[in-house]
Structure 1
Amino acid sequence: MSSVLTIRVPEEVHQNLGSLAEMTGRSRSWLAMEAIKEYLEREQWQVSQIHEAIAEADAGDFASQEEVAAVFGKWTSRAG
């Protein structure tokens, strides 16, 4: 099942979408849908991670000094 979504975009975006559609043999609608899907997946993941981190912080679930030093040491030892 699908729904219709109408959006206004700057003329340059509309032209770029049309050009890409011609180059790829895809429709403008398909390209726009894929772009929206990818954006939503990325943003939903990021926002969920932020909410999870806030919940952990609110619960006092922080890394110990030893854990921080171990990670810091792991990455700084590779630089040299």
Structure 2
Amino acid sequence: MTKPFTIDLEPDLDDQVAEIAQAMDQSKAWVVEQAVREFIAVRDWQAAAIDEGIRAADAGEFAEHDAVVEWIASWGGPDEKPMPKCG
């Protein structure tokens, strides 16, 4: 079951949605729904990754900032350093 929803788009964006819909032989509503689904999926993934990072940091599972900066600065050089250990 779907619920009606109205959205106001800037003309250029509406034209882009219309072009995509036509190319995919779908309605503009379908294209917008897919975009919203993808946005929510990415947002949920990002929130879960942040939560996992916070849990790991709270458990002491992180590399020291200075060690990471030093490692990144060495990339591509003859004395490239190994990735810092978490701990």
With normalisation by structure 1, the TM-score equals: 0.69
Any idea what the Cα deviations from partners look like across 1:29-74, whole Å, max 9, x if unmatched? 1111111111111111011111111122123233598xxx76x29x
Q: Determine which structure has the larger helix proportion and give its number.
A: 1
Structure 2 CA distance for aligned equivalents of residues 32 and 4 of structure 1: 13
**1:22-37 counterparts in 2 under 5 A?**
22-37=22-37
What does residue 55 of structure 1 align with?
55
For the residue of structure 1 that corresponds to 2:21, the secondary structure is helix
For the residue of structure 2 that corresponds to 1:3, the secondary structure is coil
TM-align CA RMSD:
2.5
Aligned residues: 70
Q: Percent identity?
A: 28
- Return 5+ residue gaps in structure 1 as ranges: 74-80
Structure 2 CA distance for aligned equivalents of residues 4 and 61 of structure 1: 46
Structure 2 CA distance for aligned equivalents of residues 5 and 53 of structure 1: 36
Q: Which gives a bigger RCO, structure 1 or 2 (Cα 8 Å, sep 6+)?
A: 2
What does residue 19 of structure 1 align with?
19
List 4+ stretches of structure 1 deviating above 3 A: none
Structure 1 CA distance for aligned equivalents of residues 2 and 56 of structure 2: 37
1:5 is displaced (CA, Å) by 2.2
